[in-house]
Amino acid sequence: RQSYAEKNPSSLKAYEQATKSLPGGGTRSSIFIHPFPLFIERGEGTEIVDVDGHVYLDFVSDFTSGIYGKTNPVLKKAIIQGLDNGLQLGAHTPTESSLSSALCDRFPSMDLLRFTNSGTEANILAISTGLHCTRREKVVLFQGGYHGSVLSHFGEEGGGGDLKVPYDFIVCPYNDIPGTRDIVQKWNDEVGVIIVEPMIGAGGCIPGDPQFLQFLRDLSTQIGAVLIFDEVQTARLGTGGRQKILGITPDMTTLGKFFGGGFAFGAFGGKEEIMSLFDARQPNSISHGGTFNNSPLTMIAGLTAVQHILTEDNLNKLNKMGDGLREELNSVFQEEELPFNITGLGSINQIHYTPTTEKRQGLDLLFFYLLDRGYWIAQRGLISLNFAMTQEDVRGFEIAVVEAAREVGSVM
């Protein structure tokens, strides 16, 4: 077997070059691969091609944002037409309000919303808005939760390198009602915001128990805090996100990733009484700018995606494919006593190496054995499906994962 470095000489060279101007050779820590990342040149459908000419079937789908696959004819057509109308208009546009109205129709908690350029920014604005409304300082969030670049991985192994942020965070245990109640009780009327992912995403695809999420709804009302659901990932589980599936309506919601139809995107929204604070007609409104918040290309791509691709039928099919994948793999892992399991919901899943020691090595080996078989997952185990995939692609992937898992089981 060739070593990873032998197999990927051009990626290694590209990486060495990249480290001269980018720390670690890249600009997103979350996609780094140890010992060095593969450099991808292009993609089509569900395939990606690296600079050494290897072709992989992509089962990461850019950590859920790449739900359309690498290319999509409907989006391409809309974006090309959009280019003819101007790159930047620097003004209110009808497309912007069509997209916001489509999103407000979908998410029960959103009467009004504002766009941003990323999920991180959406969360920062939502948290700050919640604190402003309540005139309080403390923010409750959960272990393993990820709300963006500077709001990351609290309490996770190896998460010691986070930047300081200007919030007074209280970290509570996820899916633990008594544990959370005990901690929050100490602060009660100092807590302005409770922010939670309805399924922990980057922290390992741990679905939130409906009772736990309902408890947070009740607790927020009781103590007068603003409850924010971060649905940056989970919005793709149904047309109205997980909030609609569970019938639990937060005060505010944040969105990101795929709603930009492939471009940089974020949005935060909520009840009218909260979001009308941004109403520029009011004398004391909160000023919220952002040069690219309503970028015409993002707006047209996002609107096209919502109207034609992120339909209930399409989302249901994709989620069903993901449910089938998870069930099938878990049943083989159990039957053959392989050291892995998968957690997640619908089309968003995470493979875990079950032994408590050498977790990292177990997943690393699985990742490299899958690359050998032509499949690309996140090195930390995230698997997310996209619309360019067929049931045959998923079936081929299942077989490859089982083979790779057997191989890991035999060497570790």
Chain positions contacting ligand PMP, by CB under 6 A: 63, 118-120, 123, 146-149, 197, 201-202, 230, 232-233, 256, 266
Task: Enter the tokens of residue 404.
Answer: 């790779």
Given phi > 0 = left and psi -120 to 50 = alpha, else beta, which region is 232?
alpha
242 vs 326 by CB, closer to ligand PMP = 242
146 vs 154 by CB, closer to ligand PMP = 146
**Shortest spacing between CB 202 and ligand PMP, in angstroms:** 5
Exposure class string for 68-80: b at 16+ Cβ within 10 A, else e: bbbebeebeebbe
Q: Which of 378, 365, 264, 370 is nearest to 32 (CA)?
A: 378
C-alpha to C-alpha distance for 309 and 67, rounded to whole angstroms: 10
**Shortest spacing between CB 117 and ligand PMP, in angstroms:** 8
Pairing mode of beta strands 191-196, 226-230: parallel
**Shortest spacing between CB 149 and ligand PMP, in angstroms:** 6
120 vs 349 by CB, closer to ligand PMP = 120
**Shortest spacing between CB 254 and ligand PMP, in angstroms:** 7
C-alpha to C-alpha distance for 346 and 321, rounded to whole angstroms: 7
**Shortest spacing between CB 208 and ligand PMP, in angstroms:** 12
C-alpha to C-alpha distance for 10 and 7, rounded to whole angstroms: 9
**Shortest spacing between CB 265 and ligand PMP, in angstroms:** 7
Q: Which of 264, 263, 210 is nearest to 234 (CA)?
A: 210
**Shortest spacing between CB 49 and ligand PMP, in angstroms:** 24
51 vs 125 by CB, closer to ligand PMP = 125
Task: Enter the tokens of residue 390.
Answer: 């067929």
* Partners of 56 in the β-ladder: 48
136 vs 147 by CB, closer to ligand PMP = 147
29 vs 97 by CB, closer to ligand PMP = 29
142 vs 397 by CB, closer to ligand PMP = 142
**Shortest spacing between CB 28 and ligand PMP, in angstroms:** 8
CB atoms within 10 A of CB 220: 22
Q: What's the maximum distance between 2 C-alpha atoms anywhere in the chain? A: 69
C-alpha to C-alpha distance for 241 and 205, rounded to whole angstroms: 15
**Shortest spacing between CB 250 and ligand PMP, in angstroms:** 14
104, 113 Cβ separation under 8 angstroms: yes
Residue nearest ligand PMP by beta-carbon distance? 119
63 vs 154 by CB, closer to ligand PMP = 63
What is the sign, positive or negative, of the torsion defined by CA atoms of 281, 287, 289, 295? negative
* Extended strands (E) in 69-190: 112-116, 138-142, 168-172
192 vs 204 by CB, closer to ligand PMP = 204
Helix (H) or strand (E) holding 352: strand 348-353
Per the omega criterion (within 30 degrees of 0), is the bond before 35 cis?
yes
Q: Which residue has the tokens 């109403």?
A: 279
Q: Tell me if residue 16 falls in helix, strand or coil.
A: helix
14 vs 122 by CB, closer to ligand PMP = 122
C-alpha to C-alpha distance for 22 and 56, rounded to whole angstroms: 25
**Shortest spacing between CB 58 and ligand PMP, in angstroms:** 16
CB atoms within 10 A of CB 21: 8
